[in-house]
């Protein structure tokens, strides 16, 4: 009797843990196609804990179709990207990395595309705090450098993998629709040159409140 009760409790705990993993993986709307998708829990490598303070700053210049990675106040790397089309624009403002998935499985009603060369989101997914949007790889590398997505930020798979290895949950993502003086300076700075200071968690909250 006790063994049966213990087995029941363990089974319940496992089901609750699986449910938490599924909720944490989350239902995401993929900007590659604008269709609903979800990463299978079995395909989620590991979900990081949110960073107390962002260590990296990701800056996207939508008109330039470029993404800059800033670490410790310096430009580390600039990547070419694809952004949203005019009718399905990328979001703007200050967001943050909300989840990270290696080799995501793509879903839409009636279709499941496992990781591989046909996966519309490529080999990496970095979900943003604005639901339905993310930074990800692609199976259409020819779209990079253009306004071609349904709002997400697309990268070549090798670039998405490189960026994925450098960022963590909680890192700030800024998306700019216009070339102001800061954007012009940032995207003309060479690697290792100074950039604007990295936002702290407190300044992110303050900025998001306005």
Cβ-based neighbours of 87, under 8 Å, separated by 6 or more: none
Please tell me the distance from the alpha carbon of residue 167 to that of residue 29, in angstroms, as a whole number.
Answer: 21
Cβ-based neighbours of 2, under 8 Å, separated by 6 or more: none
Establish whether 176 is a catalytic residue: no
Establish whether 210 is a catalytic residue: no
Q: Which of 65, 136, 150, 176 is catalytic?
A: 136
Q: Which of 65, 150, 152, 176 is catalytic?
A: 152
Burial state string for 68-82 with b = 16 or more CB within 10 A and e = fewer than 16: bbbbeeebbebbebb
In degrees and rounded to multiples of 5, residue 182 shows phi and psi of: -65, -45
Residue tagged 């995501």 (tokens): 104
How many CA atoms lie less than 13 Å away from 197 in the CB half-sphere? 6
Three-point CA angle 153, 154, 157, nearest 5°: 140
Cβ-based neighbours of 166, under 8 Å, separated by 6 or more: 56, 69, 71, 76
Cβ-based neighbours of 3, under 8 Å, separated by 6 or more: none
Catalytic positions, written as ranges: 136, 152
């Amino acid at each position: 009797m006790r063994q049966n009760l213990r087995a029941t409790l363990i089974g319940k705990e496992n089901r609750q843990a699986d449910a938490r993993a599924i909720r944490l993986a989350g239902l995401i709307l993929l900007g590659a196609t604008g269709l609903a998708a979800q990463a299978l829990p079995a395909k989620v490598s590991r979900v990081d804990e949110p960073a107390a303070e962002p260590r990296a700053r990701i800056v996207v210049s939508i008109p330039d179709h470029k993404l800059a990675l800033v670490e410790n106040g310096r430009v580390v790397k600039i990547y070419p990207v694809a952004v949203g089309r005019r009718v399905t624009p990328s979001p703007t403002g200050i967001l943050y990395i909300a989840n990270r998935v290696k080799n995501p499985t793509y879903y839409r009603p009636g279709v499941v595309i496992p990781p591989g060369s046909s996966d519309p989101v490529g080999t990496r997914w970095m979900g943003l705090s604005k639901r339905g949007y993310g930074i990800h790889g692609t199976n259409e590398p020819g779209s990079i450098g253009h306004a071609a997505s349904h709002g997400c930020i697309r990268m070549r798979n090798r670039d998405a993998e490189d960026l994925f290895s450098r960022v963590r949950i909680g890192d700030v993502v800024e998306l700019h629709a216009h070339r102001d003086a800061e954007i012009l300076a940032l995207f003309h700075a060479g690697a290792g040159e100074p950039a604007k200071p990295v936002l702290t968690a407190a300044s992110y909250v303050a900025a998001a409140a306005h």
